[in-house]
Amino acid sequence: MRKNILLIVSFFVLLIGQTISASVWPSYHNTNIQRTGLSQNYGPNCCDTACEVDIEYSYASPVIDGSNQNVYMQGGVNATGPWNLWCINANDCSVKWTYQLSATNPTGGLQMHSTCAIDADTLIYVGNPADNALYCIAADGAYRWKYTTGGRIRSSPAISSNSSVIYTMSDDGYLYAINSNNTLNWRTLTTATGAKYSSPTLSPDGNTIFVGCSNNKLYAMNASDGTVRWSYTTSDEVRSTPAVGSDTVIYVANYSGRLYAINPGGTVKWSLALGGTANSSPALDESRGILYVGSNNNKLNAVDISTGALKWSFALGGNPGYSSPAIALPNNLIYIGDKANTIYIIANWVDSGVLVCKNTYDYEITSPAIAADTSIWFNEYSHRLHRIHCWKTPTSIEEGKLDFKINSGKNWPNPFSTETKISFTLPKKSFVNLDIYDITGKLVKSLSGNYTEGKHSIGWNAKDNQGRKIKTGVYLCRLKANSYTITRKITVIE
């Protein structure tokens, strides 16, 4: 077999290192209301720091606006104050503006700070730990309003799909639904006061809110009026934020380190002991059927979402604390930090997580955010906000290490109307990511799975993952096995 990948037909575009979607990271662990931690954007595959800005003593995570020009985060100027909402230039880390939330630093013993949420009009919502209030700030840094709750807001707000309602948890035990005009829509008592770290997550249709609580429960509430549909009692308090699949299965970990998959009606699909406590929130990649979650036995875990079986664990240098993994779907890279002050870039291979690179700083790392320009942002508590923006072309060293080659045949017919065959040959049994994207970079169909050694021919009937007939036009077929990626153009006609 030839040393290099043999291409039977010409590339339409090589996707490695390019952004295929303009999606952003507008709130905690989120590129959608389901808080999946999944991005259609490429992320960096090397650890060179592009720039940084001093923001002190914040456990919050950065968020990025829709223009990919601004990054927002709350944090201190120094150990005593003031405490600001920061707007940072996404290109060079310069400070565009700050809005003072408090005159002095309120961080003493708090743990976890509210991460901002940005609505369609670029209004920024954030909970202030000093005065128990949810703030609304305009994109130019102008104050709009604040709504004061009965306790500290450590939880990160969620925004309804039409931007009319903002949901936030408070340490007073209530989940609040606050209208965008600063009136209370409703509030629901969870019967448990004390610190609330879990952030509310919405169902795909936006009709249900899921949130964990310190009374060991996961709640499902009607978004319209806050009535409790059901609650499920876990074995310990729920600090992590739920991730919700397209089938409305809810994935959440509790503090004693048990990971749960909860069916839409409140019954358990499966549960798994992670082997350590868990504050980290799970990230969901439905296209590959994998859930990623950190546990405080210093591991990043990859779990099969169908069965709850552990696929692999990657050993970190320290426990991930409140850092939750972020996934760059196109290049299959996972980003996570730990309390040993290190940020990791990890590749998901067939049956293991493989370290791409890591950087160690002075303080622990919060949850990363993936931008639309092949970069990630993450915060180093008590020190700096960082941006990594770099791409290095894979070399033949990886080829020799893997001893893996792929010979991919063409799809036929092309163009096609009702069905085409995509063929490839593998030298050994492997997990193959076979994904179809539209020309904007949106994932249309996933045909991924485990394939045996030898020749394969997979049919595609021009329907998307929901079984709907796709529109005519040009699509991109990306075949990836381990470190090898091939992309070709497919044209669908009437």
pLDDT tens by residue, 336-346: 999 999 999 99
Neighbours of 249 (CB within 10 A): 17
- Nearest of 290, 221, 296 to residue 254 by alpha carbon: 296
Residues forming CATH 2.60.40.4070 domain(s) in the chain: 6-15+395-492
CA distance 360 to 231: 40
* Residue pair 58/75 in contact by the 8 Å Cβ criterion: yes
Q: What CATH number belongs to 6-15+395-492?
A: 2.60.40.4070
- Nearest of 303, 290, 309, 319 to residue 433 by alpha carbon: 290
Q: What is the model's pLDDT at position 411?
A: 57
Q: Return the residue matching tokens 């439905």.
A: 286
> pLDDT band for position 18 (50/70/90)?
very low
* Residue pair 415/82 in contact by the 8 Å Cβ criterion: no
DSSP letters for 185-216: EEEEE-S--S---PPPEE-TTSSEEEEE-TTS
Tokens of 11: 């590339």
Q: What is the model's pLDDT at position 394?
A: 45
CA distance 402 to 411: 26
> pLDDT band for position 391 (50/70/90)?
confident
Most confident of 12-26, 364-378, 419-433, 441-455: 364-378
Q: What is the model's pLDDT at position 188?
A: 96
Better-scored residue on pLDDT, 347 or 227: 227
Residue 235 confidence (pLDDT) above 90: yes
Neighbours of 459 (CB within 10 A): 10
Q: What is the model's pLDDT at position 23?
A: 57
Residue 202 confidence (pLDDT) above 80: yes
> pLDDT band for position 398 (50/70/90)?
very low
Task: Name the 3-class secondary structure at 400.
Answer: helix
Q: What is the model's pLDDT at position 396?
A: 32
Element (H, E) at 402: helix 396-402
Residue 393 confidence (pLDDT) above 70: no
Q: Residues 6 or more apart from 32 whose CB is under 8 A from it?
A: none
Neighbours of 254 (CB within 10 A): 26
Residues forming CATH 2.130.10.10 domain(s) in the chain: 38-389
Q: What CATH number belongs to 38-389?
A: 2.130.10.10
Residues constituting the chain:
494
